[in-house]
Structure 1
Amino acid sequence: MPMFKSVVVILLALTSLFGAKVTLHDWERGQTFSNFLEEHNIPKKLLGQISDEDQKFLTEIQSDSKYYQLVGADNTLIQALIPINEEMQIHLYRDRESGEYSFDIIPIVYEENEYFANVEINSNPYSDTLECVKEEKIAKRVGQALKNTINTKSLAKGDQVAFCYKQRTRLGEICHMPSIEVIKLTTRGKTKFIYADEDGDGHLEGAQRTSFSKEGDLVHLVPFRDRSKKLGMPLRHIRITSSFSYRRWHPILKRYRPHHGTDFGARTGTPLLAVYEGTVSYAGWMGGYGKVVKIRHPRGYESLYAHQNRISVRRGERVKKGQIIGYVGSTGRSTGPHLHFGLQKSGRWVDPMKHLQRTSLNKQKFNKIVIKDAKMHKEKLVRLLDANSSTYVWDDTSTQSTRIGG
C-alpha cells in the first residue's frame, strides 16, 4: 500500500508547485473515457496502449462518481484519479519531461473512521439527523435502518436517536454510504436497539427470531416472502470458478484488478437463462467481454452475460425469467468456455451470489442474517452516551469532537 499512498501524497504536494491545483468533479452521465481524453487534449493513441484486460473497465466508470484532477497553471492535466468501483481507480498521469501520458489501475486509498451522533427528534429521523450531522448520506442510512423496524410516525418530540457508524473519506471528502453499526432509540421512556446489515436494513434487538450468538453477533432469521421476485440463476446447473471482488490480486499481471462478476464453468453451447424478466439493453460485441447480453430488470437491477458463443435475443426485446438469451462460449478475452455474469444494482456493481436465489433455497423458510460484533457495538454506544459525548458535525470543524478512537 505505501506505493499507492505515495500517489496521493505526490498529487497533494504538487498543488504548491507551479500553481497546480486539485479539483473535484462529477463524472457526467453519458461521458466516456475517450471524450475525457479529448477534452484535455490527450492523444487518442493512449487508448491503443491500454491492454484488452483493462479496456473493459473504461466503460464501467459510474455516472455521478467523484473524481480528482491535478491541473497546472496553464490548465494542462497533470494527473487524474477516476474511480471504477469502491476499491479501484484509474490513474492517469503526465510525465513532466516527455509530456507523455500513462494509464494504470490502482487501489483507492481511503481513511475509514468510526463516529458518534446523538439526535433529538423534533420532526422525523431523516430531517433531524440531517440537521444535526449536516450530511445527507448519514441521514438516509439512519432513516433506512429505522424504516422497517419501528413506526417512525409514532415518535414524539424530544425522543432520542443515538448511533455509531463507520464512514470512509477520500482526500478529505466524504464518500460512499456510511455503515450504521448500532442505533439506540429512546421513545416514551422505552429503549430499543437496532442494528444495520451490510445493505443498510435495520434489525431490532428482541424482535421475533432474533438472538445473540456466543461471539456477540446478532442473528436474525428473516422469512422468505414473495419468491416470485427473487432473481434466478443464469444456468440450470452451476459451478463457480471465480468469485466477485472489487479488488483482487492478479497472479499474472502482479497487480490488483477488479472482478465485477461471478464466473461459472460450463461447456460451449450450454443455454444461458435470464435471471428475471426485463428488457434487453445491449446485445452484441463488448471488447474483452466478447459477445454480451445486458438485461434491465425492475427494482434497479441490470444483468450482464459475457463471452457468449451465440446470442439469441435483440436489443429492446422483452424477456421472461428463465428464458434462453444465449449460449456459453469463449469469445473476447477468455481462457476457455465459461459465463462471466455481472449484476448491477442502481448502477453499482454488486456480488451476484448475494442476490441470486439457488434452487435449493426454495425449501428454506428463512434467510439467516448475521450482524457481526453487534453486542460490542452496543456496549460502545452505551459508554459514549454515559460519557455525554458530542455529535460529530461534518461541516463544522469546531464541533467535530467525537470521532471514535480519534
Structure 2
Amino acid sequence: MKFKKKTIKILIALTIVLGSGFVFFSAFELNKPTQKEVRVSLPSKPVLLPKQFGLHVDSFNVHKKTVARNQFLSNILEEHAIDRSAIAKIVEKSKSVFNVRKISAGNPYTIFTYKNDPQRAAYFIYQPNPVDYIVFDLRDSMRVYTGKKDVTKKTETLASSINHSLYDALQKNGGDPLLAMQLAEIYGWAIDFYAINKDDWFKIQYEREYVDGKPIGPGKIQSAIFSHKGKELQAYYFQPDSTTKGGFYDEEGNSVKRAFLKAPLKFSRITSRYTNRRLHPVQKVWKAHLGTDYAAPSGTPIIATGSGTVVESAFTKYNGNYVKIKHNGTYTTQYLHMSRRAVKRGQNIQQGQVIGYVGSTGLATGPHVCYRFWKNGKQVDALKQNFHETIPLSEEFLAQFKSSIIAKQQLLASLKLDDNDDLLAASTQANELEEKTAF
C-alpha cells in the first residue's frame, strides 16, 4: 500500500515537471520573436535628363534661330528682355573669351528662356562653327564660357566609274564634291584632271566627322585607288610617328609626290595645247603656241607646279601680269595673263603655293592662264613630261607601312563599281569608329 502511494506521488510529480516544461518551452516558442520579411530597396537607375550645350533643356524653353543680316548681340538680347546695362556687362565679360563683333549672319544661335517668363533669356549660345560654341550666362552670375560638341568619326568608302565628271560621280554617290579637290592634290603629279577618260574610275576610303548626326566637311581621304588610262594608281596616307610629317605613299612605300604637278590650276579645262602651228585668236595669224592654256573664272588661284625661286614677276604688253619660276638647273615654268600677281622676284616658293590669280591681261580673249615649261633652256610640252623621281620611306618605317596598308588594300579591293549611266556606284559606310572626342 505504501509502495502504491509512493508510486502515485512520483507520477504526479513527474507530470507536474513535464507539464511545467511543456509550458516553459511553449512559452519560449510563443515569446520567440517572429521573423519578419525584410524588403531591401535597391537604388533606382538615375534618370539622364536631356542636355544641350551642357544645360538641362527641361528646365527652360529652347529657341533655335539663325543670325540675320545686320543683327547683333545687343538687338538679339533686347528682344528677349535683357536691358542695355546687362548687355554692356555681358559684353565686357566676354572680351577675354569671345569678340561679340565676330557674330556673323547665317550662323546658328540658341536662346534658353525661363519657364515662368518665356520672353526673358537665361542663356544665349552662339555657334561660330558646327563644333565650337560660346555660352553667355545671362542670369545673376553673368559669365561667358566656351564649349565643344562631341564629334563622332566614321570611316566611309566610295567607289565609282566616271561617266561624266569626277564631281558628278562623287555627288551622285553621296560623297562631297570637295573630295575631288583632295584627289587632285594626291594625284596631281600623275593625272591630268582636265582630260579624265570616260573609262576611268576611283575607290576611296575616307574619315568623316559628324556632329549631332550630321557630317561636317567632306572628310579626309586615307587611302585611294585611281584608274586613269588603264593604269591603277594606289595612294595610302601614312605618318610614321608624331614627330614626322605624314604623306601619301604608293603600295611600295614611295611618296606619290613628284617634282611637278600636271597643271597650275586645281580644276579647269584646256582650251589650247602646245603646238607649233595655231591660229592666234587675237592676231588671226598662224604661229606656234608654246604653252598650254587653262580656262577658268577670273580670280581663280594659280599655283606653282613645283618648288623654286621667282626669277620674274612683271607685266608686259603681250604676257600681261606673269610670273616665271626657276626650279633648278634644268626646269623653269611661266604663268601668263594673271589678273594680279601674289609673289615677288627673288621669293622662294613651294609646290602648290598660290602665285597669282586667273585673268585676261595682255594678249588674251578671256580669263585663262597660259602655262609654259622650259627644259634645259628649251620650251617643251608640259603635258608630255614624265617625272619618276620620288622619295621612298626610310627602311625603319617600311615594314610598319606595309603592315598598316594590308587592311586598306583588302577594303578597297572589296568595293564594287557600277558602270551604268546613272552612276549609282557602291557607296558604303564601313568600320564606324564611334570615337567621340572634344575635337
Normalising to structure 2: TM-score of the pair? Answer: 0.42
Structure number with greater Rg is: 2
